[in-house]
């Protein structure tokens, strides 16, 4: 993410669900919207947490702009994330694996 600037707009602690809820803005001038994996790595590095604890809920880019807004949840443990988050969010936040000999 060379020309991408990630800025945290708001973060709040949810003790009941044992997570940090983060809203962020990405300025990706001269490039497309970054992938969930790139944003996940950047957020983990910025907040100094393990990447496995970060779950990107949403990234939305307004048409015709180079600014995206998103939400993420950073859990105290990966097992807590699997317990709370819907399965499709967990699957979206896993790296895609190369398909081996499907055809």
Is 19 in contact with 74 (CB distance < 8 Å)?
yes
Predicted TM-score (pTM) of this structure: 0.82
Residues 69-84: tens digit of each pLDDT: 999 999 999 999 999 9
**Domains in the chain: boundaries:** 5-92
Chain centroid to CA 42? 9
Tokens 């940090």 — which residue? 20
Strand partners, 75: 19
Residues 44-53: tens digit of each pLDDT: 999 999 999 9
The CATH code of domain 5-92 reads 3.30.70.330
Q: Give the Cα separation of 94 and 36 in Å (integer).
A: 9
With 80 as the cut, is the pLDDT of residue 3 above it? no
């Amino acid at each position: 993410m060379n020309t991408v600037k990630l800025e945290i707009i708001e973060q709040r602690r949810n003790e009941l669900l044992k997570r940090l809820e983060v809203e962020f803005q990405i300025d990706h001038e001269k490039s497309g919207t970054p992938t969930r994996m790139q944003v996940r790595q950047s957020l983990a590095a910025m907040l100094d947490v393990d990447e496995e604890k970060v779950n990107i809920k949403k990234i939305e880019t307004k048409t015709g702009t180079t600014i995206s807004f998103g939400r993420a949840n950073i859990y105290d443990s990966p097992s807590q994330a699997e317990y709370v988050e819907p399965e499709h969010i967990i699957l979206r936040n896993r790296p895609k694996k190369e398909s081996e000999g499907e055809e």
